Amino acid sequence: MNEGARPVDHETTLVGRAQGGDASAFASLVRGVGPALERFALRLLGDPHEAQDVTQDAILEAWRGIGGFRGEARFGTWLHRILLSRSYDRLRRRRPTTELSDALADDLAHDGDGPAREASAREFEELVRSRIDRLPPTQRATLLLRLDQGLSYQEIAYVLGSTRNAVRMNLVAARKRLAEELRPHVDLGGGGA
């Protein structure tokens, strides 16, 4: 990612200090990405308690492993990579569950004989989130890293341990699926096909 020299230098300094055992420097690095990290965990896992656990675990793992961080990515990107790995462990252990928001989608889809009723803003927001939650984990992670963190394809590939092309394919698949599932609930004015 294209960043100004000053923040990068500042981050490099902090990383160096953290590698020397300076917990306050490490804390400062973490606080810089903390809100984004929590958002990512929550959107990825859906459950606040699990997200909290995973975020904490990832931070502590990062602290233990900061000595091995060679600056191949930004600190925040590296931390997301650790968090994602932890999240996958959780997701693998999960049993499939029924989405509560399915009821909302059904309600919107079958309300009356005509076409699916247009969702209100709040309903639509809820529906979007539920549909993102239902994406396969890798697609979901890819989309969230792009959307929320604004990471480049290359950076997302680093977090996922994947390739740039795979990131493209995941994004296309995720967005295509979202568009297909949400289209019945949106009035696109004159632009609809």
Partner 1 sequence: MSTDCPFLSDVLLLGDGELSFERAVTVEAHLAVCPSCAATEELLFRVESVALREADLGAIDAALARLDDPVVETGWTPWLVAACALLALGFFAPRPVPTREPAVARGGSDTVEVAAHEDQAQETARVATEPGGTDRFALPPPHRRRIDVQELLAGETSVELVAAQVRGGGLAASASLVSLLASDDDRVRQRALEVARRADDAVVVEGLVERVTTVGDRGAWDVLADLSARGTESALGLGLDDERRAAALAALERVGTTEARDEVVAHARSATATEFAHALETLRRLDPRTALRVLVEQDQDPEWRPVIVGVVRSDPEHWLPALHEAVRRGDVLVARAACEVLAAHGDTRSTDALADAVARRGLRDAALAALVELGGESAWRIAARQVARRPALATHFDGAEAAGGALARGVETWSDVPLATLIELLGRCGGEESFAALDRLIASGLQSSALPTALARAGGEDAVARLVDLLDQPRLGPAAVEALGVLPVGRVVPELLRRFDDDRRSRIHEALVRIAGQDLGRERADWTAWWNDRG
Rule CB under 8 A: which of 36-95 touch partner 1?
A: 36-39, 41-43, 48, 51-53, 55-56, 59-60, 63-67
Are 21 and 15 contacting, i.e. CB atoms less than 8 angstroms apart?
no
Residue 121 to residue 134: CA distance in whole angstroms: 20
30, 84, 105, 159: residue in contact with partner 1 (rule CB under 8 A): 30
- Record the tokens describing residue 138, joined without a space: 């890798």
14, 105, 157, 159: residue in contact with partner 1 (rule CB under 8 A): 14
Beta carbon nearer to partner 1, 128 or 166: 128
94, 136, 148, 165: residue in contact with partner 1 (rule CB under 8 A): 148
Taking the complex as a whole, how short is the minimal distance between the CB of residue 177 and partner 1, in angstroms? 10
Question: What is the identity of the amino acid at 113?
Answer: D
Taking the complex as a whole, how short is the minimal distance between the CB of residue 110 and partner 1, in angstroms? 21
93, 100, 155, 192: residue in contact with partner 1 (rule CB under 8 A): 192
Taking the complex as a whole, how short is the minimal distance between the CB of residue 113 and partner 1, in angstroms? 18
Beta carbon nearer to partner 1, 30 or 84: 30
Beta carbon nearer to partner 1, 91 or 152: 152
**23 contributes a contact to partner 1 by CB under 8 A:** yes
31, 70, 92, 93: residue in contact with partner 1 (rule CB under 8 A): 31
9, 16, 35, 110: residue in contact with partner 1 (rule CB under 8 A): 35
Taking residue 76's Cβ as centre, other Cβ atoms within 10 Å add up to 20
111, 118, 163, 183: residue in contact with partner 1 (rule CB under 8 A): 183
- Alpha-helical regions (H) of the chain: 5-19, 23-45, 48-65, 75-93, 101-109, 121-133, 137-147, 153-160, 164-182
Going by C-alpha positions, the residue among 66, 65, 39 that lies closest to residue 52 is 39
- Record the tokens describing residue 112, joined without a space: 């009356």
Are 25 and 18 contacting, i.e. CB atoms less than 8 angstroms apart?
yes
- Record the tokens describing residue 81, joined without a space: 């990579």
Q: For the packed helices 23-45 and 75-93, what is the interaxial angle rounded to 10 degrees?
A: 40
**27 contributes a contact to partner 1 by CB under 8 A:** yes
